[in-house]
Amino acid sequence: MRGAFAKTITELAERDPRVVLLTGDLGYMALEPFSDRFPERFFNIGVAEQNMVGVATGLAEAGFIPFVYSIVTFASLRPYEFIRNGPILHQLPVRVVAMGGGFEYGHAGPTHHGLEDVGVMRVQPGITVVAPADHPQARSALLETWNVPGPVYYRFGKDDKTTIDGLDGRFALGRAQTIGHGTDLLLISMGSVTAEVAKAASILESQGVGCELMIVSSFNPAPVADLAEKLAAFPIALSVEAHYTVGGVGSLVAEVIAEHGISCRLVRCGVKSSPNGMAGDQSYFHDLHGISSTAIVETALKTLQAREVAL
């Protein structure tokens, strides 16, 4: 999605002189398509994310559409109050581009793991929140949202190779996308961990468990109607996210179930414990927190078996 972002924002900048790009000294071998083409509209603000968002607010007040770029934690948490009191409070078109959700910077350690960003962003009604599942969807999301009036938060993954079969770059604000037509289990995922969920779905299918995969990439506005409709049709749903289970897609699904009085058992797969201090690659952490394809299959089968016993 990083490459898709750089390519797409450069195209948007060709089209619209209001587009400028600010980085907190990150994006080596990533942002060059933009910085080479538009050096006068590219600003390395230095390692100062609060100021970066503040400066973007000032630029947006004057009519620019500033994109600010950093790694997820530094783009969301460090300048959070600046995002709240700047572009959200003023309803200005600042775009916060947060790279590498979940454990994409696994080796870098816990300071670089983006585990709560969607949670803290989606509690703010005044910001559009988007977390695409693959790079074609990231491009579609950018093309649909770059020019919306208020601020936008993008949680992008680094991966520009993996695609989710059947997603085909579909994206719509306030909607969820579905893949498959199984009726035994509803899988609901957010972000680039969707690749693991899709893999789990095909393993489950091969074992006779019919799955439907629902991909939530628009969080503000949330696809409440789509979720409510699907959840009502399934006895069991598994949410999967490379994020704490509080605040992200699992919480969203729980809210929809409760507020609509839907009879659907929800199992939330995601991060439930504080960092253990270990470094490791993304797949190590996915295994550790039960969000690898293998772990998702295991949880799904256990949950389905438990239901059969109960029945």
Nearest to other proteins of 60, 213 (CB atom): 60
Nearest to other proteins of 90, 260 (CB atom): 90
Question: Least distance in Å: CB of 91 to other proteins?
Answer: 9
N- to C-terminal Cα separation, the chain: 44
Nearest to other proteins of 40, 308 (CB atom): 40
Question: Least distance in Å: CB of 39 to other proteins?
Answer: 13
Transcribe 16-30 into DSSP letters: -TTEEEEESS--TTT
Among left, alpha and beta (phi > 0; psi -120 to 50; other), residue 282 is alpha
Question: Least distance in Å: CB of 85 to other proteins?
Answer: 5
Nearest to other proteins of 35, 57 (CB atom): 57
Contact 153, 160 (CB under 8 A): no
Nearest to other proteins of 43, 146 (CB atom): 43
Query: What's the CA gap between 4 and 30, in Å, rounded?
Result: 10
Question: Least distance in Å: CB of 60 to other proteins?
Answer: 8
Question: Least distance in Å: CB of 148 to other proteins?
Answer: 19
Question: Least distance in Å: CB of 7 to other proteins?
Answer: 23
Virtual torsion, Cα 300, 238, 203, 174, nearest 10 deg: 170
Question: Least distance in Å: CB of 209 to other proteins?
Answer: 51
Query: What's the CA gap between 212 and 208, in Å, rounded?
Result: 13
Q: Is the bond preceding residue 275 a cis peptide, omega within 30 degrees?
A: no
Q: Which residues bind other proteins (CB under 8 A)?
A: 20, 40-41, 43, 45-46, 48, 50-51, 53-64, 66, 81-82, 85-86, 89-90
Question: Least distance in Å: CB of 15 to other proteins?
Answer: 17
Nearest to other proteins of 80, 284 (CB atom): 80
Q: Which residue has the tokens 């939530």?
A: 216
Query: What's the CA gap between 6 and 152, in Å, rounded?
Result: 16
In one-letter notation, the amino acid at residue 144 is E
Nearest to other proteins of 58, 174 (CB atom): 58
Query: What's the CA gap between 29 and 222, in Å, rounded?
Result: 33
Q: Which residue has the tokens 């074992």?
A: 207
Transcribe 172-190 into DSSP letters: -TT--EEE---SSEEEEE-
Query: What's the CA gap between 135 and 30, in Å, rounded?
Result: 14
Nearest to other proteins of 19, 271 (CB atom): 19
